[in-house]
Chains A and B, each alone.
Chain A
Amino acid sequence: MNWITNSVLPKIKALVQSSDVPENLWIKCPSCSQMLFHKDYQEAFNCCSTCGHHTPLAPEERFKLLYDADSYETLEVSVRSDDPLKFKDSKRYPERLKATRTKTGTQDAIAVAKGSIGGKPVVIAAFDFRFMGGSMGRTVGDGLLLAADTAVAENAALIVVPSSGGARMQEGILSLMQLPRSILAVEKVREAKLPYIVLLTHPTTGGVTASFAMLGDIQLAEPGAIIGFAGRRVIEETVREKLPDDFQTAEYLQEHGMVDMVVARTEQKQQIDAILSMLMEARAA
C-alpha cells in the first residue's frame, strides 16, 4: 500500500461512482427489484420508475434537483478535525474522520449552497447520510449556522434537508449541545421573518428530529422516509410495543399531524417554488 492507493485512489473511485457508472448500465431498485436503466434512474434523481421508491440523494444531487439551473454555488463549511473528548472506540475519532473523508470524498455530514428557486434567493443545507450516518457534531452545527447566517445576510429563504441517525456519539455531550445550537441557528431566520422550510428525507431520527428539523415554518417529507425520535428497534426492544408496518413513515407522520405534506422528488422544486412565492410575496409588500 502506498500514498496513492491509500488516499487518492478511493477518492477517484468515489467521484467516478457517484457521477457515472459506465460499466453498470442497469441498476436494481432496492424496493421492488425492477431493473432500471442507470441513466433514466439518475435523471429521475434516484427514483424508481416502477414503484416510485426514493433512494437517498447526495447533497450535490439535491442542489441540482431543487435549484434553478446553474444558479447555485456551494459554500465552504469550516471543518473541525480535532477530538475534544479524545474519543476512541475501535478507532480514534480523528482517524475515523480521516478515513471517512477519504472514502466519501466529502468533509463532513453537511453541505451548504446558495442559489435561486424560481428566481427567489434560497440557501440550502443538505445532510449527507454517507458521512457517519449523517450524524450531527460541531461541524454540522457550524454548517447550519453558516446556512442561517447566509440566508439572513442575503434576505434568502432557508431550506434544510436532514438525513441523519442523530447526534454524533464521538463528540459526546458537545453533540448534544448542537441541539440548542442548531435551534438558535434557525431562530435567526425566523427573527428575520424569512421562510424556513424543512424537507425531511430518509432517515431522520434522534437528536436531529428533536431540534431544528421539527421547527420549520413548513414541514415537507419525502415518500417512504423514516422519521422519528426513537428508532423502531429501540421501541420494540425496550418497551415491547407492537408497531404497525408503516410506523414512522412520512405518510404515517402526515396522518398523525406531524408534517404538512409528503412530496415526491419530481414535485419538490415546483412545490417549494409555490410555497416560497406565497410566503415571500406578502412579506415583500
Chain B
Amino acid sequence: MRHFLDFEKPIAALEGKIEELRHLGGNSGMNIAEEIGKLQSRIDKELAQTYKKLGPWEKVQVARHPERPKMVQIIEHVFDEFIELSGDRAYAEDYAIIGGMARLRGRPVVILGTEKGSTTEQRVKRNFGMVRPEGYRKAIRLMALANQFNLPVISFVDTAGAYPGRGAEERGQAEAIARAIQSCLGLKTPLISAIVGEGGSGGAIALAAGNRVVMFEHAVYSVISPEGCASILWRSGDKAQTAAEALRLTAQDMHALGVIDQIVEEPLGGAHRNIDTALQNLATSIEAQLQDLSVMDAEALIKDRREKYLNMGDKALI
C-alpha cells in the first residue's frame, strides 16, 4: 500500500477506487479495464496538476516521503558496479553514509551518499540518515582515495542533518563537518553533488561543496529545518509551514540563487512513483556534468570550486 501525503487525498481516493474495481473482477458486468483506464487518466491529470504547483511545505513532505529513492537504490539504478568501502580507520563504521567505488556508465568513480533506510530495522541501523563524525571522516578518507587514484567523486545527499548526540559532540562533529567541506573544496578530481531528498544544513554541505550541484525537482535544501526555524524565530513548531515558505528551500529557488546548477526532472507524481525513471534522469544529469568537467585539470577544478563558493551570496531572488 502506497503512503499518501496529506495533499494527495483526492489521488488516494481515485487509487482506492481502482483497487476496488480490481477486486470486483469480472463479476460486476461492466468493462473493468475501460473503467480503470478512465480512472488512471484522471489520476494522471490530478497528479500533474498537484505536482506542478507544490508549495515549499508540500515539497518538504515529498522530499521526506518514506518511499523516496534512497542511496541503496541509487547505487542499483545509477551505477553498474559497486564495491563498498567501510570505516574511518579511527573509531567506527557509520552506516548513515554509504561509500565506495562504482562505475557510472562504465567509468570508475568514488561515490558517497547518506542513507536513511527503507524499513524500520534499516532506519535504526542507518540512524535515519543522520551522520556521526565517523561518517564524515569516512567520506574524507574516500575523497583522499579519489585524489590518489584520480577518480571523480559523486556525492548524494538525503539527510535531516548531522546527528545531534553526546558521543557525536565528544568526537568532534563540528570539526568533522568542517574537514569534510575542506576536503570537498580541495579535491583534485571533479566533484558532483546531488541533493536527492532532504538537504539538511551542515550535515548536507559537508558532502556537497561540489564543482556542480544538481538537485531533484522536489528535493529541498536548507540551512535549518522548517521546524527548527519555526521554533526559534516564531517560537512555535506549528509555524513550520510558514518557516518553509520563508526559507526559500526549493530546487527552483536554489537555482535562482546560484546554489545549484541543474534541476533534475522527476516523473509524474514525484520520484517515489517511478524510481527507475527518476534515477535514470539523475544518471543522465550527472553524466553530462561529469563530461563538462572532464576537460579540467586538478588546478582548474580547485579554482572552479573556489570561485563558485567565494561568490556565494551575490545573487538574490526577485
Contact = CB atoms under 8 A, between A and B. Distances in A.
B164 A173 contact: no
Interface stretch (B43-51, B112-120, B244-252): B244-252
B173 A174 contact: no
Interface in B60-82: none
Contact of B312 (A80, A178, A230, A256): A178
Interface in A108-160: 137-138, 141, 145
A88 B247 CA distance: 9
A171 B315 CA distance: 12
Contacts, number: 168
Interface residues on A, range: 35 or more
Nearest to A86: B317
Given A167-B224, A169-B229, A258-B172, A174 B179 contact: no
B223 A169 contact: yes
Contacts of B257: 84, 173-174
A184 B305 CA distance: 10
Contact of A85 (B169, B206, B246): B246
Contact of B316 (A82, A187, A209): A82
B175 A187 contact: no
B316 A247 contact: no
A231 to B, nearest CB: 8
A229 B173 contact: yes
Contact of B174 (A80, A209, A247): A209
**Considering residues B182, B184, B221, which has the most beta carbons from chain A within 10 angstroms of its beta carbon?**
B182
B174 A84 contact: no
A89 interface: yes
Interface string B190-230: 00000000000110111001000000000001111000110
A90 B242 CA distance: 11
A261 B40 CA distance: 67
| Residue picked from A83, A171, A235, most chain B C-beta under 10 Å | A235
Nearest to B208: A180
Interface of B: 162-166, 168-175, 177-179, 181-182, 184-186, 201-202, 204-206, 209, 221-224, 228-229, 232-234, 246-249, 253-254, 257, 259, 306, 309-310, 312-313, 315-317
Contact of A175 (B172, B177, B223, B234): B223
B202 A176 contact: yes
A86 B247 CA distance: 9
**Which 10 pairs from chain A and chain B are nearest by CB?**
A230-B164, A209-B174, A177-B312, A84-B316, A138-B313, A229-B174, A210-B177, A176-B223, A180-B309, A214-B175
B202 A183 contact: no
Interface of A: 80, 82-90, 137-138, 141, 145, 167, 169, 171-181, 183-184, 187, 206-207, 209-215, 228-230, 234-235, 238-239, 241-243, 247-248, 256-258
Nearest to B166: A241
Contacts of B254: 173
B312 A174 contact: yes
A207 to B, nearest CB: 6
B315 A258 contact: no
Contacts of A187: 182, 185-186
B158 to A, nearest CB: 16
12 contacts: A84-B257, A84-B315, A141-B312, A141-B313, A169-B224, A169-B232, A173-B253, A173-B259, A174-B257, A180-B181, A214-B178, A229-B169
Contacts of A88: 246
| Most chain B beta carbons < 10 A, residue from A206, A228, A230 | A230
Contacts of B221: 173
A84 B169 contact: no
